């Protein structure tokens, strides 16, 4: 038989021949939104664009009427390229069938390009509208001047400037030539359309890139090719800040295809975004580079972090929360209230380190050209990448170009450009374009890890069972330790993620933060510390319900308290952190939190289902300015819990793209189940013990609910986050459901280890 070499990409491309036959249920890009090439770039035919008016880096209008809109955020499956450009086109008055996309490079001209923190819509909704509205006003001004009419009598709709009184109309292409002669209006005078005129939004939008992603045409980090390109893999120190003592390159150089073996510069504390060092093997292809790395003979100096043991560190964290810590939030006299309490409930919770494990491990292609460097990377932070490459190579950052490819998952990992700096350094060393390729094992063993943590709660109840005192202590290595030496406590931004901002209708409370030293690179992972606090608080509230023999839903609503808007004083803090948003625009509104709790339990038929013998768990959490509640139903299968049904209700304010918002909530459920049931990174002698999906499990198809119900609350509030807020309530809802089924309280994750 003839031997066939088949890779997944070729298989998808073959299935995609002849149209969208393979992409079942996916609307082809030509049916609705703008068209873009698989790599996200658009290269207009110069012969048809005699003149192009560029308003701001975001919008360009050609003389033939073609509109190009830049997508300045990274596309990693969340559909940002199918949402923000539509927002700008609607504000402009453009016909989406005549709009094309251009993926922006890393450049300060676009403002904040960090695709993290669930900020893409909530932080840019008004700013992007103002940019498009400014272009619209200039188009109208140019046409009104030519026609000698008042600009207020003209409107921009259907890709043209129209004058209803005279029934005249001018295409965007012709109008753009006039707009180019108009002054740019003061931003204070820019008027946005009524939201009722944003006719494409606040509903399901077609996923622009879904067809290419489903048929193998989309270009990810590892897909970019350049003539003469080499591939590198790196043997990194197993322990952070470890160094190479000695190595023998000869066995690697004997491998066919290996061109060069070089030692990488060792990092100095703090980690920041520095590469980890080690020895790189540069070869003609990935397989030769990987074989060469396996042949290396390296002796390591593991350094000071070689003593790090995650099991022993667990006890260190627990000791920290059993002692007094730094007071970060306080109201009333919690010590007196605890002393006077008729009943006291205490519990401790521990969560492990977690890895991001995106489907696409980090990869980057860099081409150093002597006085400049060009980079292609799946990065969430193209401007940070540009800065770090410039610093590492000693270049002016204007000489560094960072192109964003599609991201095959990220969850915060690809916001750290250490892998991009590796490629730039190796391109300089090799004198050729070099793609650095991380393997799955590299990604899991050499990442920036979600922080392990411990929480301790003490609550006091009066004779009626009402909670009168709440003491919470937490300790975890801070993300700030990655960027500064000597950090042993959490920063305000970390504590706002469920500690200092949690709505709490208890008359006496105090939150404390204990000391914790980092021994690995700590980084943000989807939802960040909200994961930890939501699990601990959500589980503890369920424990309080059991202690009082109350319905967990009633206890949760009681702890949240009546509908009200909380000030910093109500929260017991001097100044409230609020995800970078002012409290007056995005207040902490318990009515919204109560609403999602009430609605999700209504959908799950909470009371009747529990009476009929179903095992349900409930949790709710506010994060990234959005409110989410989750109910999980579990069945016991061979002594192990399995989620058979789940409900999630989210109030994220105005939602531009309902389809992508529901997809993010669905993804949060699946991601959260995997983390809660299996997720744990452990360290022994300073090194990560896991290496692939066989020992760092993600949710398998049989472990996710066959029935998943998602509801978005209709709201007129400003947009909140979408990508991250769905995750925090998942683990506590699941753990509470397991308690309902087994009577065993899960106080330490992963859940399957605790059962």
Q: What is the pLDDT of residue 7?
A: 52
When the pLDDT of each residue in the chain is averaged and rounded to a whole number, the result is 93
Residues 6+ apart with CB under 8 A from 41: 102, 103
The proportion of the chain whose per-residue pLDDT surpasses 90, expressed as a percent, equals 91
CA distances from 67 to 124, 165, 244, 511, 648 (A): 20, 27, 53, 53, 38
Neighbours of 340 (CB within 10 A): 13
Distance CA(330)–CA(263), nearest Å, equals: 52
Q: 433-470, pLDDT tens digit by residue?
A: 999 999 999 999 999 999 999 999 999 999 999 999 99
The answer on pLDDT for 38 being more than 60 is no
Q: 197-247, pLDDT tens digit by residue?
A: 999 999 999 999 999 999 999 999 999 999 999 999 999 999 999 999 999
Q: 592-626, pLDDT tens digit by residue?
A: 999 999 999 999 999 999 999 999 999 999 999 99
Distance CA(533)–CA(351), nearest Å, equals: 10
The answer on pLDDT for 44 being more than 80 is no
Q: Answer whether 639's CB lies under 8 Å from 628's CB.
A: no
The answer on pLDDT for 564 being more than 60 is yes
The answer on pLDDT for 2 being more than 50 is no
The answer on pLDDT for 35 being more than 50 is no
Using DSSP, state whether 652 is helix, strand or coil. Answer: coil
Q: 133-168, pLDDT tens digit by residue?
A: 999 999 999 999 999 999 999 999 999 999 999 999
Looking at 3.30.365.10, 3.40.710.10, 3.40.50.720, 3.40.50.150, the CATH number of the domain 310-355+448-754 comes to 3.30.365.10
Strand segments, DSSP code E, in 316-466 are 326-331, 343-351, 363-368, 373-377, 400-404, 434-437, 453-461
- Domain 221-304+362-437 -> CATH class: alpha beta
Distance CA(289)–CA(220), nearest Å, equals: 20
294, two tokens: 């396996």
Q: Answer whether 655's CB lies under 8 Å from 202's CB.
A: yes
Q: DSSP assignment, residue 89?
A: H
Concatenated DSSP letters of 234-246? EE--SSTT-EEEE
Q: What is the pLDDT of residue 51?
A: 72
Q: Which is it for the CA torsion 27, 33, 35, 36, positive or negative?
A: negative
172, two tokens: 């965007």
Distance CA(690)–CA(355), nearest Å, equals: 10
The domain ranges of the chain are 8-214, 221-304+362-437, 310-355+448-754
Using DSSP, state whether 190 is helix, strand or coil. Answer: coil
Q: DSSP assignment, residue 142?
A: H
User: What confidence tier does 30 reach under pLDDT thresholds 50, 70, 90?
Assistant: very low
Distance CA(567)–CA(215), nearest Å, equals: 50
Q: 679-710, pLDDT tens digit by residue?
A: 999 999 999 999 999 999 999 999 999 999 99
User: What confidence tier does 576 reach under pLDDT thresholds 50, 70, 90?
Assistant: confident
Question: Are 8-214 and 310-355+448-754 equal in CATH topology?
Answer: yes
State the pairing for strand pair 243-248/297-301: antiparallel
Q: 74-123, pLDDT tens digit by residue?
A: 999 899 999 999 999 999 999 999 999 999 999 999 999 999 999 999 99
Taking residues 62-75, report their average pLDDT.
95
The answer on pLDDT for 34 being more than 70 is no
Closest among 139, 57, 53 to 92, alpha carbons compared: 139
Q: What is the pLDDT of residue 39?
A: 42
Q: What is the pLDDT of residue 55?
A: 84
Q: Answer whether 82's CB lies under 8 Å from 96's CB.
A: no
The answer on pLDDT for 484 being more than 60 is yes
User: What confidence tier does 372 reach under pLDDT thresholds 50, 70, 90?
Assistant: very high
The arrangement of strands across the sheet holding 467-475 comes to: 326-331, 508-513, 467-475, 453-461, 343-351
The answer on pLDDT for 14 being more than 50 is no
CATH architecture of 8-214: 2-Layer Sandwich (3.30)
The answer on pLDDT for 556 being more than 50 is yes
């Amino acid at each position: 038989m003839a031997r066939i070499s088949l890779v997944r990409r070729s298989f998808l491309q073959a299935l995609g021949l002849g149209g969208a036959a393979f992409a079942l249920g996916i609307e082809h890009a030509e049916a609705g939104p703008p068209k873009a090439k698989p790599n996200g770039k658009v290269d207009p035919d110069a012969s048809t664009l005699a003149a192009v008016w560029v308003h701001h880096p975001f919008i360009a209008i050609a003389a033939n009427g073609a509109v190009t809109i830049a997508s300045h955020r990274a596309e990693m499956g969340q559909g940002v390229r199918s949402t923000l450009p539509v927002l700008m086109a609607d504000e402009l008055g453009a016909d989406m069938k005549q709009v094309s996309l251009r993926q922006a490079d890393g450049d300060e001209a676009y403002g904040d390009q960090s695709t993290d923190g669930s900020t893409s819509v909530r932080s840019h909704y008004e700013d992007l509208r103002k940019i498009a509205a400014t272009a619209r006003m200039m188009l109208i001004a140019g046409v009104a001047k030519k026609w000698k009419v008042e600009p207020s009598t003209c409107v921009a709709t259907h890709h043209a400037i129209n004058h209803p009184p005279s029934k005249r109309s001018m295409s965007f292409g012709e109008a753009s030539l006039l707009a180019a002669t108009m002054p740019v209006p003061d931003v204070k005078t820019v008027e946005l359309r009524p939201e009722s005129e944003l006719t494409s939004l606040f509903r399901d939008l077609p996923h622009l890139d879904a067809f290419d992603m489903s048929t193998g045409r989309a270009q990810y980090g590892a897909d970019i090719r350049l003539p003469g390109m080499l591939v590198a893999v790196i043997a990194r120190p197993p322990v952070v800040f470890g160094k190479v003592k000695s190595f023998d390159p000869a066995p690697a150089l004997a491998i066919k295809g290996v061109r060069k073996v070089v030692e990488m510069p060792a990092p100095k504390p703090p980690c920041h975004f520095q590469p980890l060092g080690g020895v790189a093997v540069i070869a003609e292809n990935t397989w030769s580079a990987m074989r060469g790395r396996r042949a290396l003979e390296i002796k390591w100096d593991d350094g000071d972090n070689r003593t790090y043991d995650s099991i022993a560190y667990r006890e260190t964290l627990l000791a920290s929360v059993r002692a007094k810590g730094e007071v970060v939030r306080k109201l009333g006299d919690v010590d007196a209230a605890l002393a006077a309490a008729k009943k006291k409930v205490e519990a401790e919770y521990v969560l492990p380190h977690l890895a991001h494990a995106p489907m696409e491990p980090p990869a980057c292609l860099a081409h150093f050209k002597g006085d400049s460097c060009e980079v292609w990377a799946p990065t969430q932070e193209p401007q940070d990448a540009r800065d770090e490459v410039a610093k590492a190579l000693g270049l002016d950052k204007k000489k560094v170009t960072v192109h964003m490819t599609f991201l095959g998952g990220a969850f915060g990992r690809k916001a750290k450009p250490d892998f991009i700096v590796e490629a730039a350094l190796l391109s300089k060393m090799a004198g050729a374009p070099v793609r650095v390729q991380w393997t799955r094992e590299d990604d899991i063993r050499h990442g920036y890890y979600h922080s392990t943590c411990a929480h301790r709660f003490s609550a006091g109840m009066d004779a009626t069972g009402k909670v009168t005192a709440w003491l919470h202590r937490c300790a975890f290595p801070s993300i700030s330790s990655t960027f500064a030496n000597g950090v042993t406590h959490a920063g305000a931004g970390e504590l706002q993620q469920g500690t200092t901002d949690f709505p709490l209708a208890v008359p006496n409370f105090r939150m404390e933060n204990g000391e914790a030293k980092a021994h690995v690179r700590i980084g943000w992972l989807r939802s960040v510390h909200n994961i930890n606090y939501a699990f601990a608080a959500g589980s503890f509230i369920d424990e309080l319900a059991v202690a009082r023999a109350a319905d967990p839903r009633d206890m949760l609503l009681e702890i949240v308290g009546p509908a009200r808007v909380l000030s910093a004083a109500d929260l017991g803090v001097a100044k409230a952190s609020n995800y970078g948003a002012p409290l007056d625009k995005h207040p902490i509104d318990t009515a919204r939190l109560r609403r999602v709790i009430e609605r999700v339990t209504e959908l799950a038929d909470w009371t009747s289902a529990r009476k009929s013998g179903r095992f349900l768990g409930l949790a709710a959490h506010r994060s990234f300015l959005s409110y989410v509640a989750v109910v999980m139903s579990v069945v016991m299968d061979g002594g192990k819990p399995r989620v058979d049904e789940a409900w999630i209700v989210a109030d994220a304010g105005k939602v531009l793209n309902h389809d992508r918002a529901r997809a993010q909530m669905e993804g949060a459920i699946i991601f959260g189940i995997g983390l809660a049931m299996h997720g744990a990174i452990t360290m022994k002698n300073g090194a990560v013990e896991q290496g692939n999906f066989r020992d760092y499990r993600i949710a398998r198809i049989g472990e996710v609910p066959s029935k998943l119900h998602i509801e978005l609350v209709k709201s007129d509030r400003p947009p909140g986050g979408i990508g991250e807020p769905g995750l925090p309530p998942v683990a506590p809802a699941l753990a509470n459901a397991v308690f309902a089924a087994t009577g065993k309280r899960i106080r330490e994750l992963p859940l399957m280890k605790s059962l």
